Amino acid sequence: MRNQLWLEKRLSEIWELLFFDTPKQNNVIIKFKGKWKNKFGHIKTLKNKDTEIAVNSLFQSSLIPEYIVDLTIAHELIHYSHGFHSPLPKLYSHPHKGGIVTKELKKRGFVNQLNLEKQFIKDEWPNIYNQLIKIYKDKKPRNQNIFKLSNLFSWK
């Protein structure tokens, strides 16, 4: 299973290889977060002005192809490079204006991965999502109400 260290390494490798022209102007944190069906990741500015990139926690599973994780990281780095949730100048009025993220991903060499992602979302993601959510729900501890203050005292 993929972990925090693996995710940080992927961010570093992708940044160095494909976003070398994007200066890192603040602290950028990446983490697995959420178990979303319709969102692979997001980027936001934290109160301390750090940037947080969140990648869907379900992507820790080896059922998710690595290119999906890489595309998600690259997608969020494009937002960062365009000045969304980063100290860099904002280049566009909207983060997805005119398909700019897809165009930029293609320019940076992700054409094949984008095609694979489209097929993955259509053919595989719904079943994998349901499978992974079931695993998480089965692992989640149930509230047993073992210790309740009201069970200790009789209030009359």
- In DSSP notation, 91-137 reads -SSSTTGGGHHHHHHHHTT-HHHHHHHHHHHHHTHHHHHHHHHHHHH
The answer to whether residue 105 is domain-embedded is yes
Query: What's the distance, Cα to Cα, between the start and end of the chain in Å?
Result: 53
The answer to whether residue 20 is domain-embedded is yes
The secondary structure of residue 36, as a DSSP letter, is -
CATH number at residue 52: 3.30.2010.10
Both tokens of residue 73?
A: 């990281």
| Whether this model's pTM surpasses 0.95 | no
Q: Which residues contact 92 (CB under 8 A, 6 or more apart)?
A: 82, 83, 100
pLDDT at residue 143, rounded to an integer: 57
The answer to whether residue 150 is domain-embedded is no
The answer to whether residue 96 is domain-embedded is yes
Do residues 58 and 35 make contact, with C-beta atoms less than 8 angstroms apart?
A: yes
Strand order in the sheet with 41-45: 28-33, 51-56, 41-45
Domain count, the chain: 1
pLDDT tens digits along 11-50: 999 999 999 999 999 999 999 999 999 999 999 999 999 9
Identify the domain containing residue 8 by its residue range: 4-139
pLDDT tens digits along 61-108: 999 999 999 999 999 999 999 999 999 999 999 999 999 999 999 999
The answer to whether residue 81 is domain-embedded is yes
The answer to whether residue 148 is domain-embedded is no
pLDDT tens digits along 95-137: 999 999 999 999 999 999 999 999 999 999 999 999 999 988 8
The answer to whether residue 146 is domain-embedded is no
The answer to whether residue 132 is domain-embedded is yes
Per-residue CA distances from 35 to 4, 59, 70, 127, 134 (Å): 16, 9, 17, 14, 11
